[in-house]
Structure 1
Amino acid sequence: MKIRSDILRIYQSLHTWVGITTGMLLFIGFFAGALTMFKQPLDRWISPPASHGASAPVAMNPAQLDELVRAMLQQRPEARQEFTLHLTQQENIAAPLSWTGSESGHELDLSAQRWLGTLNEVGQFTARAETPSLLAELIDMLHRTAGIPGTLGDEYLGTYLMGIAGAMYFLALVSGVILLLPTLVKDFFALRPGKNRKRFWLDAHNIIGILSLPFHVLISITVVVFAFHDLFYGSLSRVVYGDTPMFTRPAVHTSETHNVANMLPVSALIEKLQQAAPDARLQEILFMGLEGPRPVARAALLSPEYLVQGPQAAYVLIQPYTGQVIDTSMLPGQGNVWSALTIPFFSLHFGSFGGDLMRWVYFVFGLSGAFLFYSGNLLWVEKRRKNQQAKQQSNQQANQPAVIQSRATRWMAAATVGVCLGAIAAVCFTMVAGKLMHAWVSHINHAYLAVYYSVFVAALSWGFWRGAARAAVDLLAVCSIAALAIPLTSLMAWLLPGSGVWMHLSLASLSVDLVGFVAALMFAWACWLTARRVRHGPKDSVWAA
């Protein structure tokens, strides 16, 4: 397919500058997004065994669950506003009941205490408070905001910036495809290693981009929708619905209240939920507003074979006093036309279908997306040198000394290395700090932020101080050490049982250690390759020492 050269130049310029302006934000988003595919294993890996309750949720029969909830509602009236009944047993689920005493808000409360309730050995209700680890939630927040602090209205500032980056990212995808059309068939699977390192990086960039194109198009669109959904809903409401509410609820009398003593036993609610979704596994039930005019229980049901709206679960709403199933529109195949249109967007973005296999596929796609932005910036930096060389030759200055890289090129290279590798090292060290600092830090979630931003800023500063070439070698070595420290903490717990560090033997937790070990080997290999490039590459390259 032939496309005019002037049109190709326009799309090349668009692809280049859109990628440069958003690449580092999107790198962090994709790297953290890949990790969020395994939020639950991360939570299980970081949860200390000391917080595990004596009575596990799955060990309770229906009568015990009924007694547990009844006793909690009598003795802890603050929990009537909102509490969660957990029906699965994992390292990160410390007790069958948990509540905070207030409604869950939009923003993360790093200092909020969570109360845990269970029945002791003699059947008496006991409760204790803890500050829950929000490591997985903070990584998810990094995915949604790229770590940019601050809020704008009711939303995080970083969310809006990532939405803008997502729109520009879509333009980069379209322009990149157009650039590849003339040589798509010939160069589709061409990966040409050799002395021309720029050609090798370009081939790898193109192959990964084309093979994962549907995934990236989907992510770019859904990022924009998630970032600006309030604006979309507001505009749609005014234009389409006018004065009619976009989302209607049954009318209630605001003066009506309920008595928790009249609530149905949870065993009866569980039975009705299982009848509503016989093919799904009940994970937990969130009870809200039990003494208010509109009490509701939202059940999370695992259904990995289907597209679901949540990151992992489908949801059913049930009235806790009557047992009436209020809403099943978020169940697979039971929604209206609007649900049928919107649920795939959520599910395809979260990868909440197909079980663990699809999570691994999305994990690989997420890392490949991060590679696209990192390699795109490297290609831009190297192209500056080629353009300067061509300019010298056209001006008959071939005998002039080697190209001197511009300040903008050197700064872009340093920022790319510092931001991308700094984010990786910061996340790994934050995970390790969660275990090593748990025993002597009262607010572990604040410690997470302190460690992450300290490492990130240090890596970025190191990149500018040492220059891109030297800093790339140093920071890749740091990334390898940080990733290796993840399984080493578990090894330390095994060798030194009294160290205060713990190791879980579940497959999910051990998988975190295994991935950390593999990542350490890959970063060490990349460090060796980069060091060789720094020593033996072209002397006028920004990647030369």
Structure 2
Amino acid sequence: MKPNTLRLYNTLHTWVGLMAGWALFIAFFAGAITVFHHELHVWQNPARLEGRHATEVQVEGPAIDAFVQKLVAVHPDAANSVFVGLPSKEEPDFNAYWQNKAGEWLTMNGARLNGDAAAQQQTSLDHVTGELSAFLNSLHYSLGLDTGGMYFMGVISVLYGLALVSGVLLHLPRLKKDLFAVRPGRNLKRFWMDAHNVIGLFSLPFHLIFAVTGALFCLSLIMVMVFNVLTFDGKLMEVVPRVIGAAPEVTAAGRPSPTMPAAQLLAIAREHGGERFTPEAIRFQRYGDANAVAEVRGDSSRALGNGGAVGIHAAANEPNAGQLIANQTAGGRDGNHALYSAMYALHFGTFGDLAVRLVYLLAGLAGAFLFYSGNLLWIETRRKTRQAEQPRVHRLLAQATVGVCIGTCIGVALCFPAALLWPERAVSVVFWPVFFVAIAWSLLRAPVRAAVELLYVAALASLTVPLSNALLTGDHLFVAALHGRWAVAGFDIGAIAMAVGYVALARATARRARNGPAESVWALRSASAEGAPQATMRKVDAS
């Protein structure tokens, strides 16, 4: 490859990585944890505060019917279209979501629905969107900035893909030489560069998956709107639900008709979904109407596209009662649904068991390390040797990188005890102040001092995870492990491991500050201070 071409790819890889690095660090760090999305519910479950640990839950049809009928009686808008999450080991209560006439999303669970009139009117989503798992998920796909943040992350994903392609092309000529070339020693810059390259090469398949699927998920609505106008003559939007679900949007017939019992609907879904299909939710449209349909959604074990649904005509007194609309489960779905479900499973690692999700966890943390180390390497490569004053932009970039990246680590760690201390409050109330305080601290301190100090703070923040769990629930690491509650013990173990890693990184950064080049922004001593004794020695020699 020509030298000019290599320089072009190097420039593209560097600047795209710099522009997208901070956002990608947040997305990867939060995304690595949300691989265990369901386990986060178990860790935070307020019932654990009372010693009631989650057990196996049996869902019966009559209980589902009673919940939906009471919900529709209290909130008639739910009859138009309502998602009903079935009780499970992680979520031992019903959860329903629907939109009112103004288009606002509302929610209800079994406990509130069976309460007094005031409890039945508590339909706000605040307690759902503010919980630990939901916040970390939103931090992953939108930086916690709702729709605008999601579109922004879509653009970042596109830039991320460009950085991957340019990085691969840049390293192709020396791929064999660099593949296992991690050279520890006094040259820490070379060691960090080797580690950056090796981790990037070995985790490349995961990064390609995340870049492509992340861009498609975040920008899908925009792409649909563009194609709807330019190619499909305004008819694309109406068929989108058929691509992502098993039942089309239906209108009310205006004739009342009882909806089929949930037990029959679940039996039909299991018959068509196969023995590996486990129902997890039911979406009812036009409940109690002659045009009622039900979409039983669930999970098929040991399938790449594990998420799926079965659409059923659900009006009991109609000729088509119980007839299949579509079977979009593993082994029975069409090409569109197969592609969509496979993309989702590949992005979140839902297609595998614990081993696969642990690999995704490590890949996510390794990806976060790549963006942190990439920025630091750029700063170190651009420093002026034997020059006391470095460009101010390098210092600011170093300070911002330290503040954003390590501040994210501290904020996420402190969200865990916050979720136990204030289960009804949004953990974002803790994350954002901590995040911005870390950035402010990094801007007020020398980059290396801020990095070492914040890394030690991150270690302490990580230790609050097992500590708060032990103090507030009594279900500490050893108790949870002895009783096989690894969904609880796993987070405590992971937090302790992260604390050890932060301490090790802080010590390595401190050594680099003491022993590295004096003109570096990561040095504790200045080049001018180091040069003064040398100048004095030269004068003595001359005399």
Partner of residue 460, structure 2: 481
Q: Normalized against structure 1, the TM-score is what? A: 0.82
Q: Normalized against structure 2, the TM-score is what? A: 0.82
Q: Please tell me the residue identity of whatever aligns with 1:296.
A: V
Q: Distance in 1 between matches of 2:167 and 2:368?
A: 16
Question: Which whole-Å deviations, capped at 9, do the CAs of 1:285-308 have from their partners, x for residues lacking one?
Answer: 233442567533332212231122
Q: Distance in 2 between matches of 1:75 and 1:168?
A: 48
Residue 348 of structure 1: CA displacement? 1.5
Residue 450 of structure 1: CA displacement? 1.9
Q: Distance in 1 between matches of 2:462 and 2:454?
A: 12
Partner of residue 541, structure 2: none
Residue 104 of structure 1: CA displacement? 11
Q: Distance in 2 between matches of 1:410 and 1:200?
A: 22
- The worse-fitting range, judged by mean Cα deviation, of 249-258 and 373-382 is 249-258
Q: Distance in 1 between matches of 2:166 and 2:79?
A: 54
Give SS of 1:316's match: strand
CA change 1:516–1:294 in 2 (3 A) is farther
Partner of residue 472, structure 1: 451
Q: Distance in 1 between matches of 2:142 and 2:303?
A: 28
Q: Is the 8 A contact 1:403 1:540 kept in 2?
A: yes
Q: Is the counterpart of residue 287 in structure 1 residue 284 in structure 2?
A: yes
Partner of residue 529, structure 1: 508
Q: Is the 8 A contact 2:42 2:54 kept in 1?
A: no
Q: Is the 8 A contact 1:253 1:293 kept in 2?
A: no
Q: Distance in 2 between matches of 1:251 and 1:38?
A: 31
Partner of residue 159, structure 1: 150
Q: Is the counterpart of residue 205 in structure 1 residue 209 in structure 2?
A: no
- The worse-fitting range, judged by mean Cα deviation, of 468-477 and 284-293 is 284-293
Give SS of 1:333's match: coil
Q: Please tell me the residue identity of whatever aligns with 2:268.
A: K
Q: Is the 8 A contact 1:81 1:103 kept in 2?
A: no
Q: Please tell me the residue identity of whatever aligns with 1:213.
A: L
CA change 1:190–1:84 in 2 (3 A) is same
- The worse-fitting range, judged by mean Cα deviation, of 335-344 and 249-258 is 249-258
Q: Is the 8 A contact 1:81 1:291 kept in 2?
A: no
Q: Distance in 2 between matches of 1:160 and 1:303?
A: 30
CA change 1:105–1:70 in 2 (3 A) is closer
Give SS of 2:372's match: helix
Q: Is the 8 A contact 1:381 1:413 kept in 2?
A: yes
Give SS of 1:241's match: coil
Q: 2:390 aligns with which of 388, 393, 405?
A: 405
Q: How many residues align?
A: 498
Residue 427 of structure 1: CA displacement? 1.1
Q: Distance in 1 between matches of 2:178 and 2:248?
A: 62
Q: Please tell me the residue identity of whatever aligns with 1:18.
A: V
Q: Please tell me the residue identity of whatever aligns with 1:542.
A: V
Q: Is the 8 A contact 1:33 1:143 kept in 2?
A: yes
Partner of residue 495, structure 2: 516
Partner of residue 384, structure 1: 382
Question: Which whole-Å deviations, capped at 9, do the CAs of 1:116-140 have from their partners, x for residues lacking one?
Answer: 25999xxxxx979584453211111
Q: 1:444 aligns with which of 413, 418, 425?
A: 425
Partner of residue 275, structure 1: 271
Q: Distance in 2 between matches of 1:292 and 1:477?
A: 61
Q: Is the counterpart of residue 354 in structure 1 residue 356 in structure 2?
A: no
- The worse-fitting range, judged by mean Cα deviation, of 276-285 and 205-214 is 276-285
CA change 1:280–1:105 in 2 (3 A) is farther
Q: Distance in 1 between matches of 2:190 and 2:163?
A: 20
Q: Distance in 1 between matches of 2:291 and 2:281?
A: 20
Q: 2:179 aligns with which of 184, 188, 204?
A: 188
Q: Distance in 1 between matches of 2:12 and 2:250?
A: 57
Q: Runs of 5+ in structure 1 lacking a partner?
A: 121-125, 390-400, 498-503
Partner of residue 324, structure 2: 325
Partner of residue 538, structure 2: none
Residue 376 of structure 1: CA displacement? 0.4
Question: Which whole-Å deviations, capped at 9, do the CAs of 1:312-343 have from their partners, x for residues lacking one?
Answer: 732223333223332223x1232223333433
Partner of residue 39, structure 2: 41
Question: Which whole-Å deviations, capped at 9, do the CAs of 1:49-83 have from their partners, x for residues lacking one?
Answer: 16999998834544555555555555664653455
Q: 1:305 aligns with which of 282, 302, 306?
A: 302
Alignment of 1:178-257 (within 5 A): 178-242=169-233, 244-245=235-236, 247-248=238-239, 254=251, 256-257=253-254
Alignment of 1:63-212 (within 5 A): 63-67=62-66, 69-70=68-69, 73=72, 77=76, 79-91=78-90, 93-95=91-93, 97-99=94-96, 102=99, 114-117=108-111, 131-132=127-128, 134-147=131-144, 149=145, 156-212=147-203
Partner of residue 442, structure 2: 463
CA change 1:84–1:220 in 2 (3 A) is closer
CA change 1:486–1:291 in 2 (3 A) is same
Q: Distance in 2 between matches of 1:246 and 1:495?
A: 51
Q: Distance in 2 between matches of 1:157 and 1:352?
A: 26
Q: 1:414 aligns with which of 399, 404, 415?
A: 399
Q: Distance in 1 between matches of 2:396 and 2:71?
A: 59
Residue 24 of structure 1: CA displacement? 0.7
Q: Is the 8 A contact 1:83 1:98 kept in 2?
A: no
Q: Is the 8 A contact 1:117 1:128 kept in 2?
A: no
Q: Distance in 2 between matches of 1:430 and 1:409?
A: 31
Q: Is the counterpart of residue 454 in structure 1 residue 433 in structure 2?
A: yes
Q: Distance in 2 between matches of 1:173 and 1:105?
A: 43
Give SS of 2:367's match: helix
Residue 475 of structure 1: CA displacement? 0.9
Q: Is the 8 A contact 2:36 2:357 kept in 1?
A: yes
Residue 256 of structure 1: CA displacement? 1.6
CA change 1:106–1:531 in 2 (3 A) is farther
Give SS of 2:110's match: strand
Q: Is the 8 A contact 2:442 2:450 kept in 1?
A: yes
Q: Please tell me the residue identity of whatever aligns with 1:532.
A: R
Partner of residue 501, structure 1: none
Q: Distance in 1 between matches of 2:253 and 2:214?
A: 40
Q: Distance in 1 between matches of 2:40 and 2:508?
A: 30
Q: Distance in 1 between matches of 2:64 and 2:143?
A: 41
Partner of residue 521, structure 2: 542
Q: Distance in 2 between matches of 1:405 and 1:105?
A: 57
Residue 244 of structure 1: CA displacement? 4.5
Q: Distance in 1 between matches of 2:248 and 2:371?
A: 50
Identity, % of aligned pairs? Answer: 34
Q: Please tell me the residue identity of whatever aligns with 1:471.
A: A
CA change 1:465–1:505 in 2 (3 A) is farther
CA change 1:247–1:70 in 2 (3 A) is closer
- The worse-fitting range, judged by mean Cα deviation, of 273-282 and 287-296 is 287-296
Q: Is the 8 A contact 2:455 2:502 kept in 1?
A: yes
CA change 1:242–1:526 in 2 (3 A) is same
CA change 1:205–1:164 in 2 (3 A) is same
Q: Please tell me the residue identity of whatever aligns with 1:328.
A: N
CA change 1:444–1:540 in 2 (3 A) is same
Give SS of 2:57's match: helix
Residue 15 of structure 1: CA displacement? 1.1
CA change 1:94–1:5 in 2 (3 A) is same
Q: Please tell me the residue identity of whatever aligns with 1:436.
A: L
Partner of residue 412, structure 2: 427
Q: Please tell me the residue identity of whatever aligns with 1:406.
A: P
